[in-house]
Amino acid sequence: MINARQGVPPVYSRRADSSVPRSGLNCLTCQNRNKAEWCGLADEEIRLLNKDKRPRFYPPNHIVFAQGDAWDGLYCIEAGTVAMFHTDAEGRSILVRLGHAGQTMGYQAFFSGGVHNVTARVIQAATMCRISGEFLERTLARSPSLARRYLSRLAGEVVSAEEALLRQSALSVRVRLVHLLLSLMERFGQAGDEAHGHVVMALPVARKDLAAMLGTRPETLARTIAELRADGMVRFDGRCVVVPNERALLDELEPMSA
Amino acid sequence: MINARQGVPPVYSRRADSSVPRSGLNCLTCQNRNKAEWCGLADEEIRLLNKDKRPRFYPPNHIVFAQGDAWDGLYCIEAGTVAMFHTDAEGRSILVRLGHAGQTMGYQAFFSGGVHNVTARVIQAATMCRISGEFLERTLARSPSLARRYLSRLAGEVVSAEEALLRQSALSVRVRLVHLLLSLMERFGQAGDEAHGHVVMALPVARKDLAAMLGTRPETLARTIAELRADGMVRFDGRCVVVPNERALLDELEPMSA
DNA sequence: CGGTTCCTTGATAACGATCAAAGGCCGTGG
DNA sequence: CCACGGCCTTTGATCGTTATCAAGGAACCG
């Protein structure tokens, strides 16, 4: 029913940047080596990975792959941020997840049947290494632990997708926004100077995309932010967010108090 | 945040039925042998599976495992229907998926960390075989194709969970209900006698659970059904549903016509 | 500097949740 | 087997939330 490759914005590739890596990236010394799924591989396998991978720079708004495209490789993010959108036949879309340094994109399509079911758009300039299907296939056969690692990862995604579904149907936009801010702060937040839970964060995404992460409209998001600001929970200035008291945000999530 | 093992109804086990199988079930001759994940295994492995599995009968409303429980085995459904609910700290829950003959339940928890994130409740009397972790572990190590099969299955679940999320935030209850009826009809529908897409179905679930599948309330579901009936799209009589014209239902899903 | 896209605010309407109550079905226990 | 109680289902009334339409202003890019 929900038909692929439709409603996908035609931004396709503004200036498809050349495949010249920022510098000769090396998997053996990659800063993300211990974060990626690849971390369990033996040095020998990593050396093969290093030979297989094709590094490349991607500017903001570049579409790495689009929903409906045939699978063409794994993308290991060395730096930057990539948003993955799922879009329906009428063009409505939600931001399903953010990919950041150390994560690998595109394995869902590899394992599920060879067609991407999300559109990956770069939102903060990124360098990524493309990994071929042949390499993945070969390494899966040789290193059972890699399959195991992907099994855990996919199972974890199923769990979090189910939680997202429940949040979507049971929680208000305001509460969902608080959830989202708290989880973004874990990754993008900087502890502030003041005493109690003062946190500052540079939002990685624009409002429009933040709304898409909540499964709501930009108008509603703007209103909800205004409301939160009026209550003194947060201060927004463009993409800069200040949370004076993290505890107060957490209290939003617990309907029952003392 | 969403804390496990809370709000789970205390029905826990009305008369925990004895572990006597309906008859000596045999994996080698199981009617579902070709449907289950196990279908790719060699006869030798199936023989081991047959020795490992513990068959048992489960009456309706029996809780097979609850959200928050430690993982205690895989459950291969030989017959019957089992509903899996995900529940949040406030007791709100949604029906995440239905398990039916040939499917295996509980592998998400096995792969994701050993804790069930759904409650499995029998909704149509079932017989299921419990499969131990040791067996699964051993067989995964021996048969790489099994891991591969689970990878596809989990990846497919991620895809469908993402679609569900989008439906939830973009589609009305009415349209979601039509989607659900159409998909249930694929499994539970019987082609009727009349000419054009006349279909009859015995609903496997009660209204309450149907509402939980849509992420809405029973009251809203009742109203939506009444509305659909008034439009002549369906006739409901208890758990019996008649769709006079399947085409008309399909047209509900396509906003744009000629 | 011009155009476009993004963000915000306002007004309005539709949708779905909630509270309340009545009728029906079912399983249980007498 | 029947009677009882409880749960499920339906309908009504109302309210809150969120989408939608519209417009002004700000930021960004070429």
Between A22 and B33, residue with greater pLDDT? B33
Q: What is the mean pLDDT of residues B86-111?
A: 95
**Structure confidence at residue B175 (pLDDT):** 97
For tokens 């299955």, the residue is B153
Residue A249 and residue B102: Cα distance in Å, rounded? Answer: 45
Report the DSSP pairing between strands B93-100 and B74-87.
Answer: antiparallel
Beta-bridge partners for B132: none
Enclosing H/E stretch for B84: strand B74-87
Which chain B residues are closer than 8 Å to A252 by Cβ? none
**Structure confidence at residue A34 (pLDDT):** 81
pLDDT tops 60 at residue B5: no
- The reply to whether residue B170 touches residue A92, judged by beta carbons under 8 angstroms, is yes
Residue A194 and residue B12: Cα distance in Å, rounded? Answer: 48
Query: How many Å separate Cα A81 from the centre of its chain?
Result: 7
**Structure confidence at residue A1 (pLDDT):** 34
**Structure confidence at residue A257 (pLDDT):** 43
pLDDT above 70 coverage of chain B, percent: 87
Residue A226 and residue A236: Cα distance in Å, rounded? Answer: 9
**Angle value at C-alpha B180, between A176 and B182, nearest 5 degrees:** 155
Q: What is the mean pLDDT of residues A3-23?
A: 43
Å between CA of B225 and C1' of D13: 19
**Structure confidence at residue B195 (pLDDT):** 61
**Structure confidence at residue B7 (pLDDT):** 38
SS3 at position B133: helix
pLDDT digits (tens, 9 = 90+) for A67-84: 999 999 999 999 999 999
pLDDT tops 80 at residue B222: yes
**Structure confidence at residue B194 (pLDDT):** 61
Instruction: Give the DSSP letter of residue B92.
Output: -
Range scoring the smallest mean pLDDT among A24-38, A94-108, A201-215:
A24-38
pLDDT tops 70 at residue B156: yes
Q: What is the mean pLDDT of residues A18-36?
A: 72
Residue B206 C-alpha, separation from nearest chain A C-alpha, in angstroms: 20
Enclosing H/E stretch for A238: none
Question: Crossing angle of helices A144-170/A133-142, nearest 10°?
Answer: 110
pLDDT above 90 coverage of chain A, percent: 71
pLDDT tops 80 at residue B2: no
Å between CA of A227 and C1' of C6: 20
Give B158's pLDDT tier (boundaries 50, 70, 90): very high
Give A127's pLDDT tier (boundaries 50, 70, 90): very high
Q: Alpha helix (H) ranges present in B91-143? A: 107-112, 133-142
**pTM listed for this prediction:** 0.89
**Structure confidence at residue B214 (pLDDT):** 98
Report the DSSP pairing between strands B104-105 and B189-191.
Answer: unpaired
Protein CB footprint (7 Å) on chain D nucleotides: 8-13, 17-22, 28, 30
**Number of H helices and number of E strands within chain A?**
8, 10
Å between CA of A223 and C1' of C11: 14
* 8 Å CB contact between A184 and A196: no
**Structure confidence at residue A36 (pLDDT):** 78
The residue of chain A with its CA nearest to that of B106 is A155
pLDDT above 70 coverage of chain A, percent: 87
Residue A106 C-alpha, separation from nearest chain B C-alpha, in angstroms: 11
Residue A234 and residue B72: Cα distance in Å, rounded? Answer: 44
Q: What is the mean pLDDT of residues B94-117?
A: 96
pLDDT tops 90 at residue A26: no
Which chain B residues are closer than 8 Å to A161 by Cβ? 157-158, 161-162, 164-165
* 8 Å CB contact between A32 and A101: yes
Q: What is the mean pLDDT of residues B95-104?
A: 95
**Structure confidence at residue A195 (pLDDT):** 60
Query: How many Å separate Cα B134 from the centre of its chain?
Result: 25
pLDDT digits (tens, 9 = 90+) for B50-93: 999 999 999 999 999 999 999 999 999 999 999 999 999 999 99
Q: Which residues, 6+ apart, have CB-to-CB distance to A39 below 8 Å?
A: A33
A-to-B residue pairs, Cβ atoms closer than 8 angstroms: 152
- The reply to whether residue A168 touches residue B215, judged by beta carbons under 8 angstroms, is yes
Which chain A residues are closer than 8 Å to B148 by Cβ? 140, 147
Instruction: Give the DSSP letter of residue B232.
Output: T
Instruction: Give the DSSP letter of residue B19.
Output: S
Residue A16 and residue A24: Cα distance in Å, rounded? Answer: 20
Residue B168 and residue B162: Cα distance in Å, rounded? Answer: 10
